[in-house]
Amino acid sequence: MIARIWRGITQESKSHEYLDYLMKTGLKDYRATEGNRGVYVLRRVGDGRAEFLLISLWECFDAIRKFAGPEIEKAVYYPKDKEFLLELDPHVLHYEVVVAPE
């Protein structure tokens, strides 16, 4: 299993609205992609900002390509992300999951 890690930061005042937007875009698309094994959404709020960390789980790199396209190291962004995010990091990270909860 492969974990795909993406990070984004919004203003704290927009964090709930951005979470709703994530549910309708990226999280919906993750779940609809064959080979997706789930996603964790973590949020940390402080100093007027909200940091989101998404850890999506995938059966293999081919499954990630079904979601992200051929350049799997590139982040996938949606049209309104620019309205919410303070920066658009162009990259994501991938890790092999070597131990997971049962």
The residue ranges of every structural domain in the chain are 2-96
Residue type at 26? G
The model's pTM: 0.93
CATH topology of domain 2-96: Alpha-Beta Plaits (3.30.70)
Structure tokens at 88: 């658009």
Listed in sequence order, the residues at least 6 apart from 62 whose beta carbon sits closer than 8 Å to its beta carbon are: 35
Nearest to 76 by CA among 54, 43, 51, 97: 54
Q: What is the pLDDT of residue 53?
A: 98
Percent of the chain whose pLDDT exceeds 90: 97
Q: What is the pLDDT of residue 17?
A: 98
How far apart CA 53 and CA 44 sit, in angstroms, is 8
How far apart CA 76 and CA 88 sit, in angstroms, is 10
Instruction: Encode pLDDT of 10-52 as tens digits.
Output: 999 999 999 999 999 999 999 999 999 999 999 999 999 999 9
